């Protein structure tokens, strides 16, 4: 039976010239850098907002804990699957590579089309602008000055990434370790402080007037999922990780375990210090926690910590994103120039420039948040498809990491992704369907480029 996604025709060459031989990346990153890539992608502003939202909606620490553990388990099953995929295909590109191998070139092109046009520059712009907002809390800035801070953050990280992968990764490691230390101090101080909130022993007794439980569980599950979101992006750097068959699976699993513990601990601090029904908006909830721990300067401390977390996430994003463009260019689906590495630094400088230009344009326009929201559904769908590809791929070689529970683990992750997709579709059907429709507009683009490449070869 022919799979609709599959494409059995000859490999297209979209550029008028054949793709250049793949220039090898230097495998200069070890286990610590790989782990920090995962943690850096995940731990951002969500660690301060999501626990408050979940506490307010779920109304009891027991339900918050259960939700975090469920989503942490989901992320762990996905991380194990991505560990095998990255081990089997230790190439730059991550999800793009796995879609290409399992589902064919057309599906991979649609993913790349979405990443280039919307998701990658949109998320980068969102992180940079979020950073500028919290910097503006620390030092009053006008709207134009905040945009300048956002653009400046993107440019600084782009320069570091261009000058060398080890330099950029070293910066990311330092930022990640620093924010983990600061968050650890916050947890220790918070758990040691007394407060009017719940005890540290989880309880399923909800506060009076709490929202209906079933919708709250659905909302909490989706919110927690997106707080874990992005862990899969570290796979884009697989071409630069030393001993990827060992280090990538360990990095994925270790990082997810660490993030789960961290989220549970931060949530415990929140429900310890502030009663679930008294927090108000998520931002106000975090500010109250800061005031309880640090007094009048609590808001400044929280803003500085959030700024550090967001800057670390942006650093991870700026480092990993261009590798997908390189993979697309190597397969002839993007201009071949994007596949070329800098002759001195060995980094994809042209692909980095594309990401920077698009992100800065969106920062200047200031309308990216709504746009990105339309494509969340499609992004989750592509991640689920990449894991489902394990059912289509042949068994791995002996030296490759194998997913524990060879068939069960991918099935669990895909099933939970389907649940997320269903909740997204029920909650915001217009956004989900419009975003999916825009992604599908890549199909005629793909066909047009393919016909043009065939015509170019026939006339050569």
- Please provide the average confidence, as pLDDT, over all residues in the chain: 85
- pLDDT for position 460: 38
Cβ neighbourhood burial of 179 (10 Å; 0-12, 13-18, 19+): buried
Q: Which residue has the higher pLDDT, 138 or 457?
A: 138
Q: What pLDDT does residue 281 have?
A: 59
Percent of the chain residues topping a pLDDT of 70: 88
Whole-angstrom distance, CA of residue 425 vs CA of residue 249: 32
The pLDDT score that the predictor gives to residue 282 is 60
Q: Are 201 and 285 in contact (CB under 8 A)?
A: no
What confidence category does residue 11 fall into, taking pLDDT thresholds of 50, 70 and 90? very low
Distance CA 410, CA 406 (A): 7
Instruction: Determine the average pLDDT of the residues in 137-157.
Output: 90
Residue 199 pLDDT class (50, 70, 90 cuts): low
Q: What region, left, alpha or beta, does residue 230 occupy, with left being phi > 0 and alpha being psi -120 to 50 degrees?
A: left
Share of the chain above pLDDT 90, in %: 43
Query: Which superfamily is assigned to 31-449 in CATH?
Result: Amino acid/polyamine transporter I (1.20.1740.10)
> Is the alpha carbon torsion for 242, 89, 121, 307 positive or negative?
negative
Q: Tell me, what's the pLDDT at 8?
A: 40
Does residue 16 have a pLDDT over 60?
A: no
- Report pLDDT for 278: 59
Tell me the three-class secondary structure of the chain, residue by residue: CCCCCCCCCCCCCCCCCCCCCCCCCCCCECHHHHHHHHHHHHCCCHHHHHHHHHHHHHCCHHHHHHHHHHHHHHHHHHHHHHHHHHHHCCCCCCHHHHHHHHHCHHHHHHHHHHHHHHHHHHHHHHHHHHHHHHHHHHCCCCHHHHHHHHHHHHHHHHHHHHHCHHHHHHHHHHHHHHHHHHHHHHHHHHHHCCCCCCCCCCCCCCCCCCCCHHHHHHHHHHHHHHHHCCHHHHHHHHHHECCHHHHHHHHHHHHHHHHHHHHHHHHHHHHHHCCHHHCCCHHHHHHHHHHHHHHHHHHHHHHHHHHHHHHHHHHHHHHHCHHHHHHHHHCCCCCHHHHCCCCCCCCCHHHHHHHHHHHHHHHHHCCHHHHHHCCHHHHHHHHHHHHHHHHCCCCCCCCCCCCCCCCHHHHHHHHHHHHHHHHHHHHCHHHHHHHHHHHHCHHHHHHHHHHHHHHHHHCC
- Rounded CA-CA distance 240/237 in Å is 6
Lowest mean pLDDT, pick from 24-28, 291-295, 325-329: 291-295
Report how far residue 147's alpha carbon sits from residue 360's, in angstroms, rounded to the nearest whole number.
9
| Distance between CA atoms of residues 255 and 18, nearest Å | 39
Is the pLDDT at 313 greater than 90? The verdict is yes
pLDDT at 176: 94
How many Cβ atoms sit within 10 Å of the Cβ of residue 364? Answer: 12
Comparing 62-66, 83-87, 201-205, 214-218, which segment has the lowest mean pLDDT? 201-205
Q: Mean of the pLDDT values across residues 11-28? A: 58
Confidence (pTM)? 0.87
| Residue of 122 and 198 predicted with greater confidence | 122
* Sequence spans of domains, the chain: 31-449
Q: What is the pLDDT of residues 86-144, one digit of tens each?
A: 999 999 999 999 999 999 999 999 999 899 888 888 889 989 988 898 888 888 888 88
The larger pLDDT score, comparing residue 432 to residue 450, is at 432
The answer to whether 38 and 175 have CB atoms below 8 angstroms apart is no
pLDDT band for position 262 (cuts 50, 70, 90): very high
pLDDT in the model for residue 203:
77
Q: How many CB atoms lie within 10 A of CB 88?
A: 23
Banded pLDDT at 293 (limits 50, 70, 90): confident
Closest CA to 12 of 455, 330, 326, 453: 453
């Amino acid at each position: 039976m022919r799979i609709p996604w599959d494409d059995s025709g000859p490999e297209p060459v979209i550029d008028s010239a054949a793709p250049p031989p793949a220039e090898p990346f230097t495998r200069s990153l070890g286990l610590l850098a790989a782990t920090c890539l995962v943690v850096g992608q995940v731990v951002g502003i969500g660690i301060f907002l999501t626990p408050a939202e979940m506490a307010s909606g779920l109304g009891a620490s027991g339900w918050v804990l259960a939700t975090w553990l469920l989503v942490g388990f989901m992320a762990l099953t996905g991380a194990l699957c991505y560990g095998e995929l990255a081990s089997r295909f230790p190439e730059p590109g991550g999800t793009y590579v796995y879609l290409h191998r399992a589902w064919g070139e057309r599906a991979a092109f649609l993913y790349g089309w979405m990443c280039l046009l919307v998701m990658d520059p949109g998320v980068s712009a969102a992180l940079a602008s979020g950073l500028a907002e919290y910097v503006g809390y620390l030092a009053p800035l006008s709207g134009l000055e905040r945009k300048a801070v956002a653009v400046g953050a993107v440019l600084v990280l782009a320069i570091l990434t261009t000058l060398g992968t080890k330099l950029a990764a070293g910066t990311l490691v330092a930022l990640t370790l620093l924010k983990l230390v600061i968050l650890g101090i916050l947890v220790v101080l918070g758990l040691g402080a007394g407060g009017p909130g719940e005890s540290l022993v989880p309880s399923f007794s909800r506060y009076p007037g709490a929202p209906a439980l079933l919708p709250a569980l659905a909302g909490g599950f989706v919110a927690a999922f997106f707080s874990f979101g992005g862990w899969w992006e570290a796979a884009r750097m697989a071409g630069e990780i030393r001993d990827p068959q060992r280090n990538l699976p360990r990095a994925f699993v270790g990082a997810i375990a660490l993030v789960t513990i961290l989220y549970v601990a931060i949530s415990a601090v929140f429900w310890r210090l502030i009663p679930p029904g008294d927090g108000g908006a998520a931002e106000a909830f975090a500010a109250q926690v800061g005031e309880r721990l640090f007094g009048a300067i609590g808001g400044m401390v929280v803003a500085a910590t959030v700024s550090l977390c967001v800057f670390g996430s942006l650093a991870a994003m700026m480092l990993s994103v261009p590798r997908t463009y390189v993979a697309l260019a190597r397969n002839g689906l993007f201009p071949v120039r994007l596949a070329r590495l800098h002759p001195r630094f060995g980094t994809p400088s042209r692909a980095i420039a594309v990401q920077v230009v698009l992100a800065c344009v969106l920062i200047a326009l200031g309308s990216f948040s709504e746009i990105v929201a339309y494509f969340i559904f499609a992004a989750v769908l592509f991640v689920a498809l990449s894991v489902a590809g394990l059912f289509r791929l042949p068994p791995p070689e002996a030296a490759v990491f194998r997913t524990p529970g060879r068939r069960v683990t991918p099935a669990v992750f895909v099933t939970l992704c389907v649940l997320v997709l269903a909740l997204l579709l029920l909650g915001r059907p217009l956004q989900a369907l419009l975003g999916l429709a825009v992604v599908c507009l890549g199909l005629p683009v793909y066909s047009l480029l393919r016909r043009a490449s065939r015509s170019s070869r026939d006339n050569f």
